[in-house]
């Protein structure tokens, strides 16, 4: 059996026990709220993990690129939502998937996008299933639930036999940090999306699907009346941003980067490791939160956090570990050259994207190597 000490560094590790616990927690919560669950696999982009989510009870998946959709469909998963606004150049790629038998859903949030989809559908004799994206928190994209354009978009899509529902993502929840605020955001996400669906129905338009979700809102929703499915992604790994939001603890973070100490600047209290921003990513998502973790929380090789030790700064292939508060003047003895460490990431999606594969581990043993999908 391969041990952690046998691996090249840096490399991405997935703690199987934590991952399975996270999957079970989310699925149990969705079951108790009596909604279907469609995990967003953009975090992991990994077939064994998606299969574990489906085996736990998930129905279909959400992807962030059409390349992901192609790869997961080729691997046997057919019920897929492409949760990025559809642009005309991508319609042919989406149509090819549908013609092969993929139950692909796409989204639109403008009259222009809906018209383009309807026109392509007519010209190419292809039927799309389209969900209208609803803006429920002002965070990113989507149409306002009370806007006139919602009904106009709905009518354009319905005329092409394409309108199937509404969806939203309360990404603004990432900026919150109390149970009260998260529960309020979850209710706002739910009520605004349900309201959009009802307006479409009141206009005589079909809207069988009401899809909502983000990891923080999914874990804090008090009730989901009117919702048919929930989507969430980063929960499967969690990360330091989610810890600061308050939806997990460090003991729940399933993704880490294995790295080795390669040198010191003792007079500065630095240890140098071979995990720079090419391994950890440049994501500094915790910098605006209550606790700034630099480029990642330093843990010993077993995954136990070393309080105060962070990757304080990073170059392309070098990470600089320092202790916050007071300098560790004996850091060359605390962390000798060759010491193996694990680093918890700020943003699991961004850090995972730096690696072509994961090492799935139990304790200090590597059980399997799991490839990641990639591309657009």
Q: What is the pLDDT of residues 338-376, one digit of tens each?
A: 999 999 999 999 999 999 999 999 999 999 999 999 999
Q: How far apart are CA 342 and CA 186, in angstroms?
A: 33
Cβ-based burial of 6 (10 A; exposed 0-12, middle 13-18, buried ≥19): exposed
Nearest in space to 149 (alpha carbons), one of 189, 187, 104, 203: 203
Residue 210 pLDDT greater than 90, yes or no: yes
Residue 285 pLDDT greater than 90, yes or no: yes
pLDDT in tens, 254-274: 999 999 999 999 999 999 999
pLDDT in tens, 46-97: 999 999 999 999 999 999 999 999 999 999 999 999 999 999 999 999 999 9
pLDDT in tens, 77-87: 999 999 999 99
Please identify which residue in the block is written with the tokens 């199937």: 164
What dihedral do alpha carbons 77, 81, 83, 86 form, nearest 10°?
A: 110
Q: How far apart are CA 354 and CA 350, in angstroms?
A: 7
3-state SS class at 225: coil
Range list of β-strands (E), 103-162 = 103-108, 129-133
Which domains occur in the chain, in start order?
Answer: 16-236 (3.20.20.10), 248-371 (2.40.37.20)
Total number of residues shown for the chain = 376
Q: How far apart are CA 366 and CA 16, in angstroms?
A: 10
Tell me the C-alpha to C-alpha distance, in Å, between residue 267 and each of 271, 327, 329, 330, 335.
Answer: 11, 9, 7, 9, 14
DSSP assignment of 36-101: EE--BTTTT--HHHHHHHHHHT--SEEESSHHHHHHHHHTT--EEEEEEE--GGGHHHHHHHHHTT
Other C-beta atoms lying within 10 Å of the C-beta of residue 131: 25
C-beta of residue 90 within 8 angstroms of C-beta of residue 101: no
pLDDT in tens, 138-181: 988 999 999 999 999 999 999 999 999 999 999 999 999 999 99
- pLDDT band of residue 125 (cuts 50, 70, 90) is very high
Residue 204 pLDDT greater than 90, yes or no: yes
pLDDT in tens, 18-56: 999 999 999 999 999 999 999 999 999 999 999 999 999
List phi, psi (to 5°) of 352: -60, -35
Q: How far apart are CA 253 and CA 258, in angstroms?
A: 14
Q: How far apart are CA 50 and CA 182, in angstroms?
A: 26
Give the pair of three-digit tokens for residue 44.
């992991």
Q: What is the pLDDT of residue 1?
A: 83
For the chain, the farthest-separated pair of C-alpha atoms sits apart, in whole angstroms, at 72
Task: Flag whether the pTM goes above 0.95.
Answer: yes
Q: How far apart are CA 131 and CA 368, in angstroms?
A: 37
Tell me the C-alpha to C-alpha distance, in Å, between residue 79 and each of 87, 104, 288.
Answer: 21, 6, 37
Q: What is the pLDDT of residue 134?
A: 98
List phi, psi (to 5°) of 246: 105, 15
3-state SS class at 33: helix
pLDDT in tens, 301-313: 999 999 999 999 9
Give the pair of three-digit tokens for residue 145.
């639930």
Mean pLDDT over 87-116 rounds to 97
């Amino acid at each position: 059996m391969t041990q952690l000490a046998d691996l090249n560094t840096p490399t991405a590790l997935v703690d199987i026990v934590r991952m399975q616990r996270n999957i079970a927690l989310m699925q149990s919560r969705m079951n108790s709220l009596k909604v279907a669950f469609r995990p967003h696999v953009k975090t992991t982009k990994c077939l064994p993990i998606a299969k574990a989510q489906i085996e736990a009870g998930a129905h279909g998946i959400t992807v962030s690129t059409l390349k992901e959709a192609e790869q997961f469909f080729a691997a046997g998963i057919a019920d897929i939502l492409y949760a990025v606004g559809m642009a005309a150049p991508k319609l042919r790629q989406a149509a090819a998937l549908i013609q092969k038998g993929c139950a692909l859903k796409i989204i639109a949030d403008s009259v222009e996008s809906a018209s383009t989809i309807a026109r392509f559908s007519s010209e190419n004799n292809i039927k799309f299933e389209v969900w209208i994206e609803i803006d429920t928190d002002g965070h990113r994209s989507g149409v306002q639930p009370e806007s006139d354009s919602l009904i106009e978009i709905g009518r354009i899509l319905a005329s092409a036999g394409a309108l199937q529902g509404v969806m939203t993502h309360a990404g603004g929840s990432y900026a919150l940090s109390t149970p009260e605020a998260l529960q309020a955001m979850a209710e706002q996400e739910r009520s605004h999306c349900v309201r959009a669906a009802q307006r479409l129905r009141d206009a005589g338009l079909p809207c069988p699907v009401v899809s909502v979700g983000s990891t923080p809102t999914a874990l804090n929703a008090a009730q989901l009346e009117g919702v048919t499915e929930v989507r969430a992604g980063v929960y499967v790994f969690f990360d330091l941003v989610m810890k600061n939001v308050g939806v997990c603890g460090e003991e729940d973070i399933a993704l880490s980067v294995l790295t080795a100490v390669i040198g010191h600047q003792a007079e500065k209290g630095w240890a140098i490791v071979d995990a720079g921003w090419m391994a950890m990513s440049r994501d500094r998502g915790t910098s605006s939160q209550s606790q700034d973790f630099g480029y990642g929380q330093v843990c010993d090789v077993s995954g136990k956090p070393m309080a105060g030790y962070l990757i304080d700064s990073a170059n392309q292939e070098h990470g600089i570990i320092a202790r916050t508060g007071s300098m560790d003047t004996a850091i060359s003895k605390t962390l000798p050259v060759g010491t193996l460490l694990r680093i918890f990431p700020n943003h699991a999606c961004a850090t995972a994207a730096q690696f072509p594969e994961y090492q799935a581990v139990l304790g200090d043993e590597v059980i399997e190597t799991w490839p990641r999908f990639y591309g657009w």
